[in-house]
């Protein structure tokens, strides 16, 4: 399925901005995360009124609430659901993302949720998940998606090297996210990689990415 929504604004995206379009299917597992639509971010004041962040919450309760949210079928996490959990949610999500005993689907969903968690270190944690390691490609692809959503143009230096990753799924994810971020630098690296990429699926992802960027 290929849908061509407009690229992210030139200014860096933040969790408060939200994406209002359907996201591409990056892999079989990522499809579980990315199919469907989701609403944009609600006003912070409304979130605070619905569930104040200063409400006492035990670690066990937080963990259970996170698992409940991750089990939902929505394509992308909603800020309205995650904001009440506060910054402590990042520690739980990072633990799940790096847990080799958890399923790939749950790990990828945890990574995707890191895009909307209200914690200043979320971007750094996502960048760490992009590095080549024993982390499954589906989880690294989810990290590329989440970082692009969270930081917009600021994600380009982190995503560009992934176009040469050993995993086709990661290369394809990076290509599509660079296209959605947009900008002259993203176009440049995609055009350069298109001339070198040999795998048809990745070439198609690069071409889709380029189609999202306005000339």
The pLDDT tens digits of the residues spanning 91-144 come to 999 999 999 999 999 999 999 999 999 999 999 999 999 988 878 999 999 999
Q: What pLDDT does 46 receive?
A: 29
Token pair 């690294």: residue: 140
- What's the rounded Cα separation, in Å, for the pair 179 and 185? 10
Token pair 């800020």: residue: 79
Of residues 142, 141, 146, 205, the one with CA closest to residue 172: 205
- What's the rounded Cα separation, in Å, for the pair 59 and 56? 10
Q: What pLDDT does 75 receive?
A: 62
Q: Are 182 and 173 in contact (CB under 8 A)?
A: no
- What's the rounded Cα separation, in Å, for the pair 112 and 97? 9
CATH no. of 28-41+57-212: 1.25.10.10
Chunk the chain into consecutive blocks of 10 residues (it has 215) and report each block's average pLDDT, rounded to whole numbers.
41 39 38 34 29 43 89 76 91 94 93 93 95 89 96 96 96 96 96 96 96 85
């Amino acid at each position: 399925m290929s849908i061509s929504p407009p690229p992210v604004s030139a200014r860096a995206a933040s969790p408060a901005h939200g994406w209002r379009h359907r996201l591409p299917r990056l892999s079989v597992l990522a499809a579980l995360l990315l199919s469907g639509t989701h609403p944009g971010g609600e006003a912070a004041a409304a979130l605070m009124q619905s569930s104040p962040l200063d409400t006492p919450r035990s670690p066990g309760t937080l963990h259970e609430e996170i698992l409940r949210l991750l089990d939902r079928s929505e394509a992308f996490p909603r800020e309205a659901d995650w904001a009440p959990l506060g910054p402590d949610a990042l520690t739980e999500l990072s633990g799940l993302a790096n847990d080799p005993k958890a399923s790939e689907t749950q790990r990828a969903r945890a990574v995707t949720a890191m895009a909307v968690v209200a914690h200043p270190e979320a971007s750094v944690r996502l960048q760490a998940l992009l590095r080549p390691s024993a982390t499954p490609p589906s989880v690294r692809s989810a990290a590329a998606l989440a970082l692009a959503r969270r930081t917009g143009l600021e994600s380009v230096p982190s995503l560009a090297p992934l176009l040469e990753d050993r995993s086709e799924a990661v290369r394809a994810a990076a290509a599509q996210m660079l296209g959605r971020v947009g900008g002259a630098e993203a176009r440049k690296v995609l055009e350069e990689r298109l001339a070198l990429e040999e795998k048809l699926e990745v070439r198609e992802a690069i071409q889709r990415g380029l189609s999202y960027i306005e000339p």
